[in-house]
Structure 1
């Protein structure tokens, strides 16, 4: 087996023990391959569980046993859990109680449908769904069982198919003896009230000679007696079985209801004064420990902390261009563009208002005098027309409910945008100062960190090389 399993690649020692009643052997083999230096675990003990080395070893052992005519140990079914075993010992196992009751119900059932009906009558709740993966489940009603128990976990004899087969076998035995399940159930005996005896007079009637019974009557009586005897025999068999199962149930119930002896309460120790423990002051974590060995590190760290950069991780945000919530560059630019456009629109509205009188007079003049008037007031008229054109093109962006805004409303909106920009400018300026300071040392810090990383990688490579040499020397 060792030669077939290890294939000559691993050293092994085989020890046969005969000190016990059964001869057995122990095998110890080297984990390292003699030829390539790889471990047995790496070569043969990887992958899924069914492909592991123990499964291969078991298959080889079974083959050798079959070749030499030795019995092969067949794998057992799923065993009982520790919890279930403890419950069985204490007599609290729901499964044991269910097995006893289900076997009792099967004795009086004609078929599987009748079995389910009698389960309900005997205090066994069930869930039967043939289309589901778990077809049948049971639960004892009124005994404290909360969850249903799957039928297949009770054993192989408690599945839907096996229950039907067992009921059919019982019916065959009963039909062979001309006995039905109803005959096994004893009807309740009627209670006859006691009456006081009355004096009776004995009257002797003339005796008649007995007539001989007919042959048919004798045959019927003998057949009835035979059936009655068979029914009594079957009844005795099932009565003994019922008594045995009832005894098991009584034993389980008695064990479950056995009172638990109270444990003596431990004596309460007298409270001792708790000693006061003085804790050492917690060490402050150095946020700049990674770059402390850099040249001029103290000066660089002092300048960074002066502008508000208090750790290397925060400095890394500037070094890797990570967006910061303190950066309002886009927001500031957007606000400035908005209130600048409004201010220009207000200026154009003022320009149009200032030249509206001149332009109105120009419009009221006749065509003959307009040319001369326009030449004389060209600047005012051109300013009005320019402002009016600009307002017509840009005022629609500020319409409210289809109405053009007033100058006062636009002025209020411009003031609101300016106040908002003014509120975020201190934080934005502080960020710009941090960014400017960080950019001065980004290149130096990045170069130092890269050097430290390459140094650590070289050290790891050196250690791996030394480990390979040690393994090689060991193999040689």
Structure 2
């Protein structure tokens, strides 16, 4: 649980921000007491658990991911609603407690699920074989279609390749990379700044990016550019990029519009 919420000691010390308070939820238990709830459910069905025994699984992990090219069509709040519907459909409606969190720290928006391995009603273990995974992928594909996420939808998500099992295209590609490209890193940092509940204006986002990400943001009228002091080119100069090279969401108008939608979705 601490991993998907970014609460590991090293994550906290490094200032890693995985998600936001309004972007994670649990069905069947208190979201901040999820692990204890799973243990109580197991105890209720006379099932023991020891973290030292590898065969005893407390919860199973799954994830859904959206293609980076759909970022301009998808807000974190929309990803949350998709995940909430997905979790209710496949886990909680069938008697399995589940915790999910929308992650905001990568170039592609994605959601992690922790599903109890003990059914609340009958104590049965959670099953996710090929048939179940294919049904989940079909359902997720329909969700993407409803939201107009054309790049996140594919005819087939589930493949038997062990290296790609239970991952969609975006997750698989990100896993293969050693690190983010300069532009991708800029996008990740900006999305994090835009997603902060307290950041309600363009200036809030700029100030946050400067203070916490050491980003050099230059606003000239209706245009904006970004640079990272610690990312340099071959000549040792900080790498910079104009808004137009990042996509519509990261322009002055795009950021302003996103912040307005974010505020409306809270009420």
In the superposition, the TM-score normalised over structure 2's length comes to 0.30
In the superposition, the TM-score normalised over structure 1's length comes to 0.17
Structure (1 or 2) with the greater strand fraction: 2
Which of these two proteins has the greater Rg computed from alpha carbons? 1
Higher relative contact order (CA 8 A, sep 6+): 2
